[in-house]
Chains A and B, each alone.
Chain A
Amino acid sequence: MEATLNSIIAAAAPLVIATMGETITEKSGVVNLSLEGSLRLSAMTGFVVAFWVGHALVGFGAAAVVGAAIAAIIASTSIRLKLNQIAVGFVLTLLAADLASFLGDSFVGERGPRVPALPIPFLSDIPFVGKVFFDHDLVVYGSFLAIGVTWWVFYRTRAGLNLQGVGERPEGAFARGIKVNTLRFWYTVLGGAMVGVAGAAYSLDVKLGWRETLTLNLGWIALAIVIFGGWHPLRVAFGAYLFGALQVLAFQLQDVFPGLAQVLPIAPFPLMILALVFVYSSGFRRIGDQFPRLRSLLGGAAPAAMGTVFERE
């Protein structure tokens, strides 16, 4: 049990970081649809750079730059050129994924440096809790930090208030003297950098090494989880852990049902999306209207100005 929970938390860590990044981006009113490609390209770059330099940390830095650069393309083409964010994001998805396959081809099968395990002294000795939460490495602690900081900034700081204003009612925010497009640009770049870190976590922490299918479909899942979590950091994190649990479960069921060994690893993907469909179906919304508490626990509206271009008159 302890070991299972420990592995769920470790397996979900990159996804938590990526979904926090995308939540920040979308909260500011921009959709970075490119996650499937961003994760793959940053996983490849992170691995290759770490492999060359011999240091995992440098790999994470390089991956963050890749994620940030892709996000910057989406933000700037939307803000300056009024291009559709979904269209640019989709093209970048395919482009980044193929770029990763092309440039990373000769590094498949190599083993790079790994992120060292770092059990936290004393805390990791607490029975049960210590093993589940404090017997990990920096990536996992980073994922905890990402959840906490995102939540705190969103709901407890002035910056968070401005961020939400920019995503919900940009006209109002602009009238209060907030530089809407500047904020959107930098929050999108920040979110992209976090996606990049998540990508490197897959090739330097979850698995050691890079191959084409390493992050397959995880970017799409991350996008779905942000919606599933209603753009609320804690609920988004819950979604990421739920997916992690499904993955670990599917992995363990492979021994029970060897006949389904090929199908089980992909089962969490449709399951996750079906959960999303269920939560957002109008039938469920009607139940939600009757039980407001249940609804506030699961639902959540998209930032009102998400995906739109802000132009001052």
Chain B
Amino acid sequence: MKALRAATPTLLSLAAALAFGIVLLLLAGAPPFEALWLLVEGSFGSASKISATLLAWSPLLLASAGLVITFSAGLWNIGVEGQVIVGAIAATWVARSLPGPAWVILLATIVAGAIGGLVWALIAGVLKTYGGVHEIFGGLGLDFVAAGLAVYLVLGPWKRTGVASTSGTDIFREEAWMPELEAFGTGWPVVSVALGLASVLIVWLLLRGTRFGLRLKAVGRNPQSSFLLGIPTNTYMLGAFAIGGALAGIAGTVQATGFHHKLVPAISGGYGFLGILVVLLASFSAAWIAPIALFFVAISVGSTQLDLRLGLDSAFGGVLQGITVLFVMIGGAWSASRGFGSQAAREEH
């Protein structure tokens, strides 16, 4: 009963977000319930659709898990998009140039992605800790640079055979594809999902049960007092950037070797920014990441059907995700300001 009362504001906010979506569909002249059903059917309606949803779930899990770490350190890692892109670029470089059997390339692309994202995040971290540049703007600048780099590589040095095209590089040879398991007439992205779930588990354990995690949270809550208490705040912030960036970089590997099987200009799929929404909705807790991320990618994957079947712009998925986060945030804060419902939830923390 207590749990239900605590959840009331959230449930009401979700209902309001759904109502907003229905009104919007009516405005666009679309049959709302058919459209919403298409979201479900488009993401879970068949074995291959479930597989596609799971494949999209993995990079979002990785990016979100990394963001939980940076948020815990009190950092707005807007550079996450760039970290995903650079991870994908590094993985692409390995996939294109490293000879050898599939398992060697798999390990090497994962490590390369992690290093790429880590380095990119550390640049923002050093600018923040030693340069006094706010991480939002350092990160944004690095996002722009990474996006430019991807376009340059796709059209220049790594252009596909024949005429260079923004549709991407040549497809990687099959040894470099992230392995899938054949079952029920389709391939299942077991490796990428395992990477995604492992990242969430590691981050959850790290923040819950380790000295590093506790001190990191202390740095995030109050850097000045943490510093006075002898915690090397800069080192902890850089550590958070490193872990967050490495996980985002692996998300880039999954996008390149698991999904596209090539490098494309929009390789990040927007999962970096979407990860920020996921973490905001999870109110910065690792435990809720997995279900919320699944809910969000289901909307994203399903909304491509709206385009195909009803001629609606697939941005509807993004609208639904954004309005959900906004309403849940407002609902939670509103009920907290009234001392209603979420009181119980807050006491649990």
Give Cα A158–Cα B273 distance, bound, in whole angstroms. 41
Nearest-Cβ distance from residue A300 to partner chain B, whole angstroms: 14
Give the size category of B's interface with A. 35 or more
Q: Does B91 contact A (CB under 8 A)?
A: no
Interface residues of B in 1-57 (CB under 8 A from A): 24, 27-28
Q: Does B140 contact A (CB under 8 A)?
A: yes
Nearest-Cβ distance from residue B242 to partner chain A, whole angstroms: 20
- The A interface is mostly helix, strand or loop, or mixed, namely helix
Q: Does A98 contact B (CB under 8 A)?
A: yes
- The one of B76, B148, B317 in contact with A267, judged by C-beta atoms closer than 8 angstroms, is B148
A259-276 near B? 1/0 per residue, CB < 8 Å: 100110011011001101
Q: Is the CB of B28 within 8 A of A103?
A: yes
Chain A residues closer than 8 Å to B206, beta-carbon distance: none
Nearest-Cβ distance from residue A56 to partner chain B, whole angstroms: 24
A91 touching B316 in the complex, CB below 8 Å, given contacts A262-B151, A263-B152, A277-B127: no
Chain B residues closer than 8 Å to A270, beta-carbon distance: 141, 144-145, 148
Nearest-Cβ distance from residue A52 to partner chain B, whole angstroms: 14
Nearest-Cβ distance from residue A26 to partner chain B, whole angstroms: 13
Q: Does B147 contact A (CB under 8 A)?
A: yes
Give Cα A259–Cα B276 distance, bound, in whole angstroms. 36
Chain A residue nearest to B148 (CB atoms) is A266
Give Cα A101–Cα B166 distance, bound, in whole angstroms. 21
Chain B residue nearest to A78 (CB atoms) is B333
A82 touching B148 in the complex, CB below 8 Å, given contacts A274-B141, A282-B130: no
Q: Is the CB of B319 within 8 A of A95?
A: yes
B157-186 near A? 1/0 per residue, CB < 8 Å: 000000000100000000000000000000
Interface residues of B in 69-119 (CB under 8 A from A): 76, 78
Q: Does A178 contact B (CB under 8 A)?
A: no
Q: Is the CB of A83 within 8 A of B144?
A: no
Q: Is the CB of B329 within 8 A of A285?
A: no
Q: Does A102 contact B (CB under 8 A)?
A: yes
Nearest-Cβ distance from residue A15 to partner chain B, whole angstroms: 16
Q: Is the CB of B148 within 8 A of A80?
A: no
Chain A residues closer than 8 Å to B277, beta-carbon distance: 91, 94
Q: Is the CB of A98 within 8 A of B318?
A: yes
Chain A residues closer than 8 Å to B136, beta-carbon distance: 33, 86
Nearest-Cβ distance from residue B125 to partner chain A, whole angstroms: 13
Give Cα A277–Cα B138 distance, bound, in whole angstroms. 7
Binding site for A on B (CB under 8 A): 24, 27-28, 76, 78, 127, 130-134, 136-138, 140-141, 144-145, 147-148, 151-152, 155-156, 166, 273-274, 276-277, 280, 312-313, 315-319, 321-323, 325-326, 329-330, 333-334, 337
Closest 3 A/B residue pairs (Cβ): A273-B141, A95-B322, A98-B318
Interchain residue pairs with CB less than 8 A apart (23)? A73-B326, A77-B329, A80-B337, A82-B333, A87-B280, A88-B326, A91-B322, A94-B273, A94-B274, A98-B317, A98-B318, A101-B313, A101-B318, A102-B315, A103-B24, A105-B313, A220-B140, A227-B137, A270-B145, A273-B137, A274-B141, A277-B137, A281-B133
